[in-house]
């Protein structure tokens, strides 16, 4: 197995363990047992607890980009991009309906379980989403697909709020009902702002 | 010191430690050291880790009721209740601006650090907020202060989404800017639905 394959296998195991064990449970020792690799082998890949947590956050972000942001950018129409983003993000945050939080939200709320540098990194990664949405909104307004007076920051705040609420509600309520409610709200938001 | 005072002192210490140490750090041993009480004394009060976590969640909920829901219910006008709720909740979720999460949101996202019964309890306590907002919206509509066609569930979802987003953003962004954005969104929401 190549070094890259081994690294991927370790990060897959870490992401799978995250909902039940949290970032605080992501120790080199436990992951070594889970992947049947040596502790020294894991140290060679990650160098320690903080670096491992950062690698797991980046692996979650890479999955997010693959599932959400890249398919959005493959759309040509600026308004359609926002519709696709709402749909894919909602699937991401309410995924599998088994009460598992989005790993990036989990990281942003897990300060006590993260090494300091990993906590800073988690916040920085999560904070990328707001400017991404604001940029899509600005371009849609410039292209005449959203109202010209759309405030991209305010639009992005409302857009992001619906998905965050859906993700949190889906932990304790029927995910299908949560998704239906959030879908209706996204449709209303886009109707309100569409040019 | 009475048993009630001792209990209050322990729970105050636990809530103070929560942002830095998380629910996973709330051990009887650490709290005993922090409050200079005996471990057996803490066991006498709480009986174990899970019961302690439940008591801390209830203490956070009691503070929330004192800071947010009781002042709201002291208002007579149904629309004013929603305005006051937006304002007090926003203060609560962005409080102190030191990047500390709301303890109830923290609990709902901390499944790995909570005993199973405490995790169930945390979700149940957090989930009380949605029906509280929906009930206020229904009464405001019945009193002719919100539009008669207001869907209380949808209204509550949007209302709650703004506060959750503000709370999460305030962990990584300038809390004053986050609060200003959320205040503008609450004002727009109430304008949109006001009768």
Q: Is B30 on the interface with A (CB under 8 A)?
A: no
Pick the more confident residue, B158 or B101: B158
Rounded Cα–Cα distance for residues A65 and A71 (Å): 8
Q: Does A75 touch chain B (CB under 8 A)?
A: no
Task: Tell me the pLDDT band of B77, cut-offs 50, 70 and 90.
Answer: very high
What pLDDT score does A162 carry?
Answer: 93
Q: What is the pLDDT of residues A41-91, one digit of tens each?
A: 888 888 888 889 999 999 999 999 999 999 999 999 999 999 999 999 998
Separation of alpha carbons B12 and B26, rounded Å: 12
Residue from B22, B26, B175 to probe the interface with A (highest A Cβ count within 10 Å): B22
Q: Which of B104, B164, B106, B158 is nearest to A164 (CA)?
A: B164
Instruction: Give the chain B residue nearest A155 (alpha carbons).
Output: B185
Nearest-Cα distance to chain B for A39, in Å, is 23
Q: What is the CA B67 to chain-centroid distance, rounded? A: 9
> What does the pLDDT average to over A13-23?
84
Contact with chain B for residue A120, Cβ under 8 A: no
> How does residue A100 score in pLDDT terms, banded at 50, 70 and 90?
low
Please tell me whether residue A4 adopts helix, strand or coil conformation: helix
Chain B: nearest CA to A6, how far in angstroms?
26
Q: Report chain B residues whose CB lies below 8 A from the CB of A115.
A: none
Mutate to test the interface with A, among B21, B112, B116 (most CBs of A within 10 A): B112
How far apart are alpha carbons B154 and B157 in whole angstroms? 5
N residues, chain B = 195
Average pLDDT, chain B: 88
Q: B59-193 belongs to which homologous superfamily? A: Tetracycline Repressor, domain 2 (1.10.357.10)
pLDDT band for A127, please (50, 70, 90 cuts).
confident
pTM: 0.85
Instruction: Answer yes or no: is pLDDT of A157 > 90.
Output: yes
What's the pLDDT band for B134 if we cut at 50, 70, 90?
very high
pLDDT in tens, B96-116: 545 567 788 777 776 677 888
Report the DSSP beta bridge partners of residue B146. B194
pLDDT at B145 over 60: yes
pLDDT at A39: 87
Greater confidence (B26 vs B189) lies with B189
Residue A101: list chain B partners with CB under 8 A: 109, 111
Distance CA B36, CA B31 (A): 8
User: Of B161, B151, B159, whose CA–CA distance to B133 is shortest?
Assistant: B159
Cβ–Cβ pairs < 8 A, chains A and B:
117
Residues 6 or more apart whose CB falls under 8 angstroms from that of B15 comprise: B56, B59, B60, B63, B103
Provide the 10 A C-beta neighbour count for residue A4.
Answer: 8
* Between A113 and A154, the higher pLDDT residue: A154
SS3 label, residue B194:
strand
Residues of chain A positioned with their CB less than 8 A from the CB of B182: 157
Q: Is ipTM strictly over 0.90?
A: no
Measure in Å the smallest separation between the Cα of A20 and chain B Cα atoms: 5
Q: How confident is the model at residue B136 (pLDDT cuts 50, 70, 90)?
A: very high
pLDDT in tens, B2-28: 888 888 888 988 888 887 788 877 888
Q: Which residues of B152-169 are buried (b: 16+ CB within 10 A; e: fewer)?
A: bbbbbbbbbbbbbbbbbb
- Bridge partners, A146 (sequence order): A194
Q: Considering only the beta carbons, identify the residue of A25, A158, A164 that sits closest to B112.
A: A25
SS3 (DSSP) at A55: helix
A95 versus B34: the higher-pLDDT residue is B34
What does the longest C-alpha to C-alpha distance in chain A come to? Answer: 58
Q: Which residue has the tokens 């010191």?
A: B1
Sign of torsion, CA A120 B67 B110 B163? negative
Q: Are B120 and B52 in contact (CB under 8 A)?
A: no
**Residues written for chain A:** 195
**Do A138 and A152 meet the contact criterion of CB atoms below 8 Å apart?**
yes
| Measured distance CA(A65)–CA(A87) in Å, rounded | 14
Q: pLDDT band for A96, please (50, 70, 90 cuts).
A: low
Q: What pLDDT, on a 0 to 100 scale, did the predictor assign at position A94?
A: 82
**How far off is chain A from B17, nearest CA to CA, in Å?**
10
* Residues of B with Cβ-Cβ distance to A130 under 8 angstroms: 169
Q: By the CB < 8 Å criterion, does A172 face chain B?
A: yes
Inter-axis angle of helices B129-142 and B78-93, to 10 degrees? 150
Q: How many helices (H) and strands (E) does chain A have?
A: 11, 0
- What's the pLDDT score for residue B158? 93
Q: Is B131 on the interface with A (CB under 8 A)?
A: no
Cβ–Cβ under 8 Å, residues B58 and B125: yes
The residue ranges of every structural domain in chain A are 57-193
Q: Does domain A57-193 have CATH number 1.10.287.1770?
A: no
Quote the crossing angle between the two packed helices A28-35 and A49-64, to the nearest 10°: 60
Average pLDDT, chain A: 88
Report, as an integer, the average pLDDT of B30-51: 85
Nearest to A108 among B20, B110, B172 (CB): B172
Give A127's contacts in chain B (Cβ within 8 Å): 172-173
Instruction: Kindly determine whether residue A164 and residue B168, on different chains, have CB atoms separated by under 8 Å.
Output: yes
């Amino acid at each position: 197995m190549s070094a890259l394959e081994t690294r991927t296998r370790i990060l897959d195991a870490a992401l799978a363990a995250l909902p039940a064990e949290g970032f605080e449970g992501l120790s080199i020792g436990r992951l070594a047992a889970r992947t049947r690799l040596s502790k020294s082998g894991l140290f060679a890949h990650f160098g320690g607890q903080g670096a491992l947590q950062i690698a797991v956050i980046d692996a979650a972000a890479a999955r997010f980009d693959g599932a959400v942001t890249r398919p959005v950018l493959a759309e040509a129409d600026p308004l359609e991009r926002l519709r696709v983003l709402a749909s894919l993000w909602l699937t991401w945050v309410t995924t599998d309906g088994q009460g598992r939080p989005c790993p990036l939200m989990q990281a942003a709320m897990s300060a006590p379980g993260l090494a300091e540098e990993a906590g800073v990194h988690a916040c920085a990664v999560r904070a990328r989403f707001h400017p991404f949405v604001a940029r899509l909104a600005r371009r849609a307004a410039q292209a005449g697909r959203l109202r010209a007076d759309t405030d991209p920051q305010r639009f992005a705040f409302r857009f992001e709020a619906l998905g965050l609420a859906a993700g949190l509600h889906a932990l304790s309520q029927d995910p299908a009902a949560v998704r239906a409610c959030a879908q209706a709200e996204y449709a209303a938001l886009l109707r309100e702002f569409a040019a």
